[in-house]
Amino acid sequence: MRKSILRIAVFLISLSTIQAQKLEPVNVERNEVYIDSMLNHALEKGFFPGAQIIVGTGDFNLISKNYGYHDYTKKQLVKTDDVFDLASMSKVLGATLVTMRLVGENKIKLTDKVGKIVPFYKNTAIADLTLFELLTHTSGLKASITFYQSLLSTPDGSPLLSDKKSENYPDLFDNMYVNKNIIYDSKYLVFEPKENWVQIYKNMWLNPEFYKTVYEQISVANTNTRGKYVYSDLNLLLVKQMIETKTGKKLGQLTNEIYTELGISKIGYNPLKWTSIENVMPTELDNFFRKDTIKGYVHDEAAAIFGGVSGNAGLFANAESIAVICKMLMNNGNYKGKQILKAKVVKEFTDSPLAKEGIYRGLGFDKRKPDEFFKANDFGHTGFTGTFFFMSPDTNRFLIILTNRVNPTRTNRLMYKDDFSTKIWRQINK
């Protein structure tokens, strides 16, 4: 009996290998050598401390590797279970996935308007913006608002930041120097737990009354031409509000429902609630707002303001969890025989509906004008922290690259200057 079971197991493994080879006309070994070379060069030059990479098809992971360390002390190697701050990849893997589910269930429509769903915006200048405009970044909203800076001030009214280092501006943040006398607005921010206040960092709690001022700023942020493409974090903040108001559920709950169906557990908001801090990659040394090296909490300040759960950022994940989502999307919303998203919805969201107007975005998804790196049907997203994932229906490939290039500072843009991720994307699609 055992021999029969063993023979069946060997046969199934052989069959899987044959199928993988049929799906993989290019040389996996050649691609792995190329990726190793790129990663070793990147680590040597200090593009980032560590990375996870997966190359796969709609059915198989072809290459899955970890590189480097958590930070430049080189004390802790990157492991498969380690999770990275995904930054703007959250726009797709969080709020957009949920929207796709709701559209497929006819619980929300792309023609739905912000003011019709979210009462706060009913009589504002952005009331008529549609869900479609928000997802394609054609709403006319400005790129972002630094909401958190209104929580900060100085005793003498001097600027928070300076472009020159001095006694009063000793520490660097991004490409500016931080006033050493910054004080926090005690009406909205405290450093000990307070009932009904929102934890936004390990030692910071926010008065939820602050959100009214945030929404007021968004309501008058339509400073660009409506219908023209301007990538904006504000769009996804509004998408979150629309889906939460429409469903009566929180974004984190809605995403977890999808992740549970997919059988993935190394993905979610606020990672310290579901994994250990040792498994979370550190991001930036924030000398400005949180006065700490960020680890276990979201890097993006807007997402932090919302308690780590936001439409624009906030998700943490390992590459393996994202690979499952890639396979589901590449199989028209189906994963292991289970229809997670409607096939027609996947197609609608991953097309470029405004291509005739020179706008190549999908709905939520990043798409590019075809060039030496990207084809018309490719779709995915990138993240500020140094993350990248893209899928190609034409070649049946996906690529996931997770790094923490902002550790210890966001000024490190070496991986972008080198076209690091796009070079690897081009290589695996040859």
Q: Burial, 311: exposed, middle or buried (Cβ in 10 Å; 0-12, 13-18, 19+)?
A: buried
d(CA 124, CA 119): 10
pLDDT at 30 over 90: yes
Q: What are 176-188's pLDDT values in tens digits?
A: 999 999 999 999 9
- The confidence score (pLDDT) of residue 167 equals 98
- The confidence score (pLDDT) of residue 13 equals 46
- The confidence score (pLDDT) of residue 401 equals 99
Q: What are 110-128's pLDDT values in tens digits?
A: 999 999 999 999 999 999 9
pLDDT at 26 over 90: no
Burial 312-333 (b: 16+ CB within 10 A, else e): bbbbbbbbbbbbbbbbbbbbbb
Q: What are 33-44's pLDDT values in tens digits?
A: 999 999 999 999
Q: How remote is the C-alpha of 211 from its chain's centroid?
A: 22
Q: Side-chain half-sphere of 308: how many Cα atoms within 13 Å? A: 22
pLDDT at 298 over 90: yes
Q: What are 197-207's pLDDT values in tens digits?
A: 999 999 999 99
Band the pLDDT of 24: cuts 50, 70, 90.
low
Band the pLDDT of 222: cuts 50, 70, 90.
very high
- The confidence score (pLDDT) of residue 7 equals 55
Residue 46 contacts by C-beta under 8 Å, 6 or more apart in sequence?
72, 412, 414
At 143 the three-state DSSP class reads coil
pLDDT at 6 over 80: no
Residue 13 contacts by C-beta under 8 Å, 6 or more apart in sequence?
none
What proportion of the chain, given as a percentage, has pLDDT over 70? 94
pLDDT at 25 over 90: no
Tell me how long the chain is: 430
pLDDT at 17 over 80: no
Band the pLDDT of 1: cuts 50, 70, 90.
low
Residue 54 contacts by C-beta under 8 Å, 6 or more apart in sequence?
61, 63, 64, 65, 319, 320, 322, 323, 398, 399, 400
Q: What are 48-79's pLDDT values in tens digits?
A: 999 999 999 999 999 999 999 999 999 999 99
287 secondary structure, DSSP code: T
Angle at 271 between CA 316 and CA 197, to 5 degrees: 115
What proportion of the chain, given as a percentage, has pLDDT over 90? 94
d(CA 316, CA 239): 19
At 333 the three-state DSSP class reads coil
d(CA 395, CA 384): 27
Band the pLDDT of 27: cuts 50, 70, 90.
confident
**Between 22 and 288, whose confidence is greater?**
288
Q: What Å distances lie between residue 7 and 1, 122, 220, CA to CA?
A: 10, 66, 68
- The confidence score (pLDDT) of residue 14 equals 45
pLDDT at 5 over 70: no
